[in-house]
Amino acid sequence: MNKETLLAASFEKIQNHIRKNEETQPVVNYQEPASLQQILKPAVSDEPAGEEEFLKMIDQYLEFAVKTGNKQFLNQLYSGFNFPAFVGDMLTSLTNTSMYTYEVAPAATLIEKEMIALMNSYAGYTEGDGIFLTGGSNGNLVAMFSARNRILPQSRFHGYDRNENLVAFVNQQAHYSFETAANLLGIGSKNVIKVKAGPDGRMIPDELEQSIKRAIQNGQKPFFVAVTCATTLLGAYDPIDEIAEITKRHGLWLHADGAFGGSIILSDLHRHLMKGIEKTDSFVWNPHKLMNIPLVCSALLVRQKGVLQHNITDLNTDYIFHDSDDVEDLGKKSIQCGRHVDAVKLWFAWKYFGKKGYAQRMDNLIEMATHAENTVNRHPRLELMAPRQSFSVCFRYRPENDINLNEFNLAVREKLRKSGQSIVNYGYMGKELTIRLVTANGELQKKDIDQFFTKFLETAKSLEKKQVEEYEY
Ligand SMILES: Cc1ncc(COP(=O)(O)O)c(C=O)c1O
């Protein structure tokens, strides 16, 4: 087989895999790790594998991969298959360039600049800037890094002095990456203060104000507040407008973590959830979640130009940044050197679907989540664990018998997952386990949600019956 024939055979397998997304296929062929190790035999030998083995490797990898394009993959904050973005991603691999300079990435540099300008126009950052980076966690890190360098510019050169006592404030249900960021920046994860949220999961502005005042009284120096635009478990949007008034009064950096829910800004119907976003200093937005762009695709936007360059020390970089083209080398404002091209796949998808297509996809996601919520509310054995805020529906099954609800619901989830029928996630609200269904696939239909609940209820009922029989026996 020559290289061309091998490539054609590989593409045929890829096409078959894509086709299966549309069919009723198991979402995973689940194997216990020991059994998968036996089947896959991932060890690499010294001898070349050969073509037959190469094609078998493709089959096996695809066979045991979780089918995140399947409509029963309701587990993560991303799902679905995005054809134009997939093509864009393939082209990126094919041309294999790096985002640091115009010299090696001319088209990608212009595309990234265009995408950042477009995203900034939705954020209302008229003088904004931004950079694609390796995910929301790193976006949160660079935002905190920028805030630290604004308040303590010398820390860029001399390090962070602990006696400065910097403290940051986040929603008590914020993503864990803020603590990682504080850890990495030398501020310390204990100096990320968790602000109380209401039963709907939104940060309570008055609690924030009180926390800031208490910190100042304790000799600490507040410098950074993060609002979350769709919290990871409940999908709650913090009230940006009200919080922006507080951060303005205290002169604090206001960051919006829209890693999960930032894409809602494209919906005319629902963008009010992010009212006040233009008052923030920075905003992380992950197209790899609700816009179904293949991982990773994430941008950190900043309201003020120059902020990102300022973060990077003025190193001697003349071996890479030659400044020979009349265009900015984007690498100068990134904390990475080699950087994957992530803007191109977004560009392909955004052009293909248009703003209108994406607005419809966002509206559809909310409609599907509402449908799931209504299904829970209508069923006597299903209990909604918290009012739905956006794309996440948190619920559990209540069997007739008095049994441990956490163990029971976890067992239902695990049985569904291992059977390959559906994958849905779970988390904890205090000590109570909640099943979390996320509508993240822009092409979901009501019948897909109905299919999930049919399988979930069948599984729950069969487990319930089994437990009653065991008890009676
Ligand atoms: C609210 C929120 N912020 C940040 C992140 C981290 O984003 P990433 O997975 O791209 O690092 C997540 C991930 O789920 C999230 O839900």
Domain range annotation of the chain: 3-67, 87-349
> pLDDT by residue (tens digit) across 52-69?
999 999 999 999 999 999
Residues 456 and 424 sit within 8 Å (Cβ to Cβ): yes
| pLDDT score recorded for residue 313 | 66
C-alpha separations of 73 from 85, 296, 347, 420 in Å:
19, 18, 25, 10
Query: What value does the CA radius of gyration of the chain take, rounded to a whole number of Å?
Result: 24
Helix (H, G, I), strand (E, B) or coil at 463: helix
Kindly report the CA angle at 431 between 425 and 435, in degrees rounded to 5?
20
Q: How far is the CA of 60 from the centre of ligand 1 (A)?
A: 30
350's CB contacts (< 8 A; 6+ apart) are 115, 118, 358
Q: Is the CB of 232 under 6 A from ligand 1?
A: yes
Helix (H, G, I), strand (E, B) or coil at 10: helix
| pLDDT score recorded for residue 466 | 82
Q: How far is the CA of 349 from the centre of ligand 1 (A)?
A: 21
Pocket test for ligand 1, best of 141, 286, 293, 392 (most atoms within 8 A of CB): 286
Q: Is the CB of 286 under 6 A from ligand 1?
A: yes
Q: Is the CB of 299 under 6 A from ligand 1?
A: no
Residue ranges of the alpha helices (H) in 132-255? 136-151, 155-158, 177-184, 205-217, 240-250
pLDDT string in tens for the chain (473-residue length): 788 999 999 999 999 999 887 777 899 999 999 999 999 999 999 999 899 999 999 999 999 999 999 999 999 999 999 999 999 999 999 999 999 999 999 999 999 999 999 999 999 999 999 999 999 999 999 999 999 999 999 998 899 999 999 999 999 999 999 999 999 999 999 999 999 999 999 999 999 999 999 999 999 999 999 999 999 999 999 999 999 999 999 999 999 999 999 999 999 999 999 999 999 999 999 999 999 999 999 999 999 999 998 877 666 687 888 877 888 899 989 999 999 999 999 999 999 999 999 999 999 999 999 999 999 999 999 999 999 999 999 999 999 987 899 999 999 999 999 999 999 999 999 999 999 999 999 999 999 999 999 999 999 999 998 877 775 55
Q: What is the DSSP letter of 126?
A: T
State which H helix or E strand residue 226 sits in. Answer: strand 221-228
Question: Look-up: residue for tokens 């399988």?
Answer: 455
Ligand 1 atom with the shortest distance to the CA of 139: 11
The reported pTM is: 0.96
| pLDDT score recorded for residue 472 | 59
Residues 78 and 288 sit within 8 Å (Cβ to Cβ): yes
Residues 243 and 225 sit within 8 Å (Cβ to Cβ): yes
Helix (H, G, I), strand (E, B) or coil at 392: strand
Ligand 1 atom with the shortest distance to the CA of 258: 1
* CA quadruple 57, 342, 309, 322: dihedral sign: positive
Pocket test for ligand 1, best of 141, 171, 257, 296 (most atoms within 8 A of CB): 257
Q: How far is the CA of 404 from the centre of ligand 1 (A)?
A: 31
408's CB contacts (< 8 A; 6+ apart) are 397, 399, 460, 463, 464, 467
- Prior bond of 296 cis (ω within 30°): yes
Cα 97 to chain center, whole Å? 25
Q: How far is the CA of 77 from the centre of ligand 1 (A)?
A: 8
Going by their DSSP bridges, the two strands 392-397 and 382-384 should be labelled as antiparallel
Pocket test for ligand 1, best of 76, 142, 170, 232 (most atoms within 8 A of CB): 232
Pocket test for ligand 1, best of 180, 255, 260 (most atoms within 8 A of CB): 260
Q: Which of 108, 153, 120, 104 is nearest to 307 (CA)?
A: 153
Ligand 1 atom with the shortest distance to the CA of 286: 10
CATH fold of 87-349: Aspartate Aminotransferase; domain 2 (3.40.640)
Residues 390 and 235 sit within 8 Å (Cβ to Cβ): yes
Residues 147 and 307 sit within 8 Å (Cβ to Cβ): no
Residues 252 and 221 sit within 8 Å (Cβ to Cβ): no
Task: Answer left, alpha or beta for residue 209, where phi above 0 means left and psi between -120 and 50 means alpha.
Answer: alpha
Q: How far is the CA of 306 from the centre of ligand 1 (A)?
A: 25
3-state helix, strand, coil in the chain (%, to 5): 50, 15, 40
Q: How far is the CA of 142 from the centre of ligand 1 (A)?
A: 14
136-166: string of b/e by CB count within 10 Å (b at 16+)? bbbbbbbbbbbbbbbbbeebbeeebeeebbb
Q: How far is the CA of 289 from the centre of ligand 1 (A)?
A: 9
Q: Which of 294, 275, 386, 306 is nearest to 345 (CA)?
A: 294
